[in-house]
Amino acid sequence: MTVVRDPLEPKISLWHFLAFYLRFLREREGMSLAQCGKIIDVARSTVSNIEAGRQRPQEDQLARLDERYGTGRLLQLLLWYARNTHDPHWGRQLVPYEEQATAFRAYHGKSIPRPFQTEDYMRALAMAGAPSDADDTVARRLARQQVLLDREKPPFFYLILEEEVLRTSVGGPQVMKAQLAHLRGMMDLPQVIVRFVQPVAGAHEGFDGPFQIISLERRDIAFAGAQYGGRLIEAPGEVRDLWARFDRIGAKALSEDASRALVERYLEQVT
């Protein structure tokens, strides 16, 4: 029996509109999923996922479809606008990318990044944000943390943090002591690099906000954080710009050994 899928609601986001429109064009041409897949050199299931909004198309794929449908550069331009517009459902797309990632490079200025948080530290942050949903928030974050860290071959992590994250008392002294001890232990793992930027380093490009670069098997994507959400970045040029920004921030950071010593000093001060 043929499975009939309801189309996405195109008013939710440009990504939904693009997926909706791709399905409309294919069906208008009387093409099957498999026939469309041959045009863009992917499996039938990939076309289905793109049209359902579960997977995002790439520029070369839309260039082929623009040629096939006679739409000029319309689909490629829609992709450009979608990549540069806030997506309210960015989190859903970020999770599968994290699960596939081979490496994470991140700058954080205010807190320990989630993969390296203890449960108590995580809970204290959740309570500060939305106390009524804290249990659900912590459960989701722990599950995502487990997926990242409990792989047979864990991803590579390179974190640049502000010294401020060590002195900010999240959850009280005992929670912070356990968190700092956990972080210090993680810093000895071969797939982990953690370096700190001290206040004396002065202003740098990280002041604009946190971001991370996620390396997948064939390409890199990025995520820039912000209040009430953030933006998933897939345009290669923007990702390259964030790589350069990450390198410039790193030039102001302490060495790995000096960063370990810094965490140890803060551990000694926690009472």
Q: Which helix (H) or strand (E) holds 197?
A: strand 192-197
Write the pLDDT tens digit of every residue in 228-259.
667 888 888 889 999 999 999 999 999 999 99
Same domain, 131 and 175: yes
State the average pLDDT over residues 97-119.
92
Q: Tell me which of 13-27, 100-114, 126-140 is least confident.
A: 126-140
Q: Are residues 154 and 264 in the same domain?
A: yes
Q: What digits encode the pLDDT tens for the residues 35-55?
A: 999 999 999 999 999 999 888
Interhelix angle 59-69/14-28, rounded to 10 degrees, is 40
The count of residues in the chain is 271
Note the Cα 236 to chain centre separation in Å.
15
Please check whether residues 102 and 154 belong to one and the same domain.
Answer: yes
The whole-number pLDDT of residue 1 equals: 37
The three state secondary structure string of 204-236 is CHHHHCCEEEEECCCCEEEEEEECCEEEEECCH
33: exposed, middle or buried (Cβ count in 10 Å: 0-12, 13-18, 19+): middle
Stated pTM of the model: 0.70
- pLDDT tens for 218-229 read 889 998 877 666
Per-residue pLDDT averaged across 186-215, rounded? 94
Sign (positive/negative) of CA torsion 246, 250, 256, 262? negative
Q: Where residue 161 sits, what CATH number does that domain have?
A: 3.30.870
Of 67, 84, 101, which residue constitutes the final position of a domain?
A: 84
- Does the pLDDT of residue 129 top 80, yes or no? no
Q: What amino acid is encoded at 225 in this protein?
A: G
How many structural domains are present in the chain?
2
- pLDDT at residue 75, as a whole number: 96
Helix axes 256-269, 173-186, angle to 10 degrees: 160
Name the DSSP class of 247.
H
Does residue 263 sit within a domain? yes
Scored b (16 or more CB within 10 A) or e, 52-64 reads ebebbbeeebbee
C-alpha span between 230 and 54 (Å, rounded): 19
Q: Is residue 1 part of a domain?
A: no
Q: What is the CA radius of gyration of the chain?
A: 22
Closest CA to 15 of 92, 68, 70: 92
What is the span of the domain harbouring residue 22? 14-84
Specify whether 150 is located in the same domain as 211. Answer: yes
